Amino acid sequence: METVSENRSHGGTQGVYSHSSGQTGTEMTFSVFVPDHAEGAKLPVLWYLSGLTCTHANVTEKGEYRAACAEHGVIFVAPDTSPRGDDVPDAADEYDFGKGAGFYVDATQQPWSKHYRMRSYIESELSDLIASNFPVDMERQGITGHSMGGHGALTIGLRNADRFTSISAFSPIVAPSQVPWGEKALGRYLGDDRSAWREYDACALIEDSARHPNILVDQGTADNFLEEQLQTHRLAEACNAAGIDATIRMQEGYDHSYYFISTFMAEHVGWHAERLKA
């Protein structure tokens, strides 16, 4: 692991690091904020998965999580959203597929399957790297994310409910199998057999009996993507049908941007911290 940069901020260290990933076969960059802590202490960790077109940098620069993480003593990890580099196949001129749009899946279809392994990258490889290199208590993990990353947080959290104590999301894609962004990505990464998509669809996972006791979602009512791509009501319906007591809030007048995310970020960090007993 290489240090790209480290800056003191809000009583902690905001770092950016890179490493050679065996899963993606590429160099990967991520950011980690570590609040000051007693020597030898292990802190809970909150994972933040980003949306389409993002790298680690969007939330690191615009997410406004550091003050809350320092207050609650929570480590914040922000991975990239896809493999990168000249060897990685991409879809020219498509912002919603290829680089910047890994959708947190392990692709099974050519030519994507070689590098697009973001599920295993996040669930296994980066987790191991974080556990080995930062003062994290891996018994206390929460996961959150935005849009495509909200989909990542919900699906990874639901599939690994024993590992992630708390799941939250900002404007998540809740049912990718039912909307254009998801149909394009899952169809190309995973192929035409829609049964293979279900483990990458939060609503389908719940229908297929995944359960989680701690889910918080915030969604802006003025989000341009709400009607066509996000369809928050589907998650509310799936949770109701399954008897899951999720908190799903529509936030009046907020859009899809980091102005929205940063408004509610401290509340999400505090909500996770309470459940992780930070």
Ligand X SMILES: N[C@@H](CCC(=O)N[C@@H](CS)C(=O)NCC(=O)O)C(=O)O
* Integer angstrom CA distances of residue 218 from 49, 58, 80, 169, 174: 15, 19, 22, 6, 12
How far is CA 202 from its chain centroid? 13
Picking from 128, 141, 132, 167, the residue whose alpha carbon sits closest to that of residue 248 is 167
CB of 197 to ligand X, least distance (A): 19
Q: Determine the Cα–Cα distance for residues 266 and 170; give it in Å rounded to an integer.
A: 12
Among 13, 18, 53, 251, binds ligand X (CB under 6 A): 53
Contacts of 132 (CB under 8 A, 6+ apart): none
Task: For residue 120, state whether it binds ligand X (rule: CB under 6 A).
Answer: no
Cβ proximity to ligand X, 201 vs 210, nearer residue: 201
Residues in contact with ligand X, counted by CB under 6 A, come to a total of 12
CB of 184 to ligand X, least distance (A): 14
Compute φ and ψ for 105, nearest 5 degrees: -115, 165
Task: For residue 155, state whether it binds ligand X (rule: CB under 6 A).
Answer: no
CB of 142 to ligand X, least distance (A): 20
Task: For residue 170, state whether it binds ligand X (rule: CB under 6 A).
Answer: no
Cβ proximity to ligand X, 35 vs 79, nearer residue: 79
Sign of the alpha-carbon dihedral angle for 123, 124, 128, 130: negative
CB of 124 to ligand X, least distance (A): 25
Residues in contact with ligand X by the rule CB under 6 A = 51-54, 58, 95, 146-148, 256-258
